[in-house]
Amino acid sequence: MLSTEAEFKQEIEACRSIFEKKTQDYGTSWRILRLPSITDQIFIKANRIRSIQESGTHLVDEGVRPEFIAMVNYATMALMQQELGRDGEQELPLDTALTLYDKHIRTATSLMLNKNHDYGEAWRQMRISSMVDLILMKIRRIKQIEDNQGKTIISEGVEGGYMDIINYSLFCLIRMTEEQAN
């Protein structure tokens, strides 16, 4: 069995590959999006997964795996967008976009490793549906913070929420990979 860190790296490679290919196809067109628009894109993906989980069917010929990958990538784009600001360069060179992507994924992975140590890999005992619910809760929190113009009294802010979305989505991808292997 691979370590959690090795499993994480495998799933990140799949997500990064999609990000890289889409950036080659579309450029960094996502730079036009305001953070609330990116948050809403993540919401759409998580809500679709929950709908499929609850109904057991889907009419669009895409399963839930691409939606988890999209949530990893959109949350990473949100962190990149937050760093770059809306007034920065709209079209980034591919190597710059990938460098920023890697930077934010490393930060999220570091957070995961620290939390995973403290929580004793509890996510391995969780249902994927519960992790989707936690993602939806994180999105609601982010939306509330956005509606409050980023002001919080005690909360960590949107960065922590985006990193948690990345990590929960990667946990779900790992669990799905494990289930397919069995």
The percentage of the chain sitting over the pLDDT mark of 90, rounded to a whole number, equals 82
Are the CB atoms for 166 and 108 separated by under 8 Å? yes
Kindly tell me if the per-residue pLDDT of 121 is higher than 80.
Answer: yes
The pLDDT value given to residue 110: 95
Is there a contact between 98 and 77 (Cβ–Cβ < 8 Å)? no
The single-letter code of the amino acid at 156 is: E
Q: Is the pLDDT of residue 182 over 70?
A: yes
Predicted confidence (pLDDT) at residue 174 exceeds the cutoff of 70: yes
pLDDT band, residue 130 (cuts 50/70/90): very high
Residue pair 81/33 in contact (Cβ under 8 Å)? The answer is yes
Residue range 26-39: mean pLDDT, rounded? 96
Do 146 and 39 meet the contact criterion of CB atoms below 8 Å apart?
Answer: yes
Q: Tens of pLDDT along 41-100?
A: 999 999 999 999 999 888 887 889 999 999 999 999 999 999 999 777 899 999 999 999
Least confident window among 2-6, 119-123, 136-140, 162-166? 2-6
For 84-121, b where at least 16 C-beta lie within 10 A, e where not — what string?
beeeeeeebeeeebeebbeebbeebbebbeeebeeeee
What span, in angstroms and rounded, lies between the C-alpha atoms of 14 and 174? 11
Q: Check if the beta carbon of residue 101 is closer than 8 Å to that of residue 16.
A: yes
Residue type at position 104: H
User: Cβ(90)–Cβ(173) under 8 Å?
Assistant: no
What tokens were used for 70?
């999209």
Question: SS3 string of 7-64?
Answer: HHHHHHHHHHHHHHHHHHHHCCHHHHCCHHHHHHHHHHHHHHHHHHHHHCCCCCCCCC
Residue type, 92: L
1 pLDDT higher than 70: no
Range with the lowest mean pLDDT among 13-17, 25-29, 60-64, 128-132? 60-64
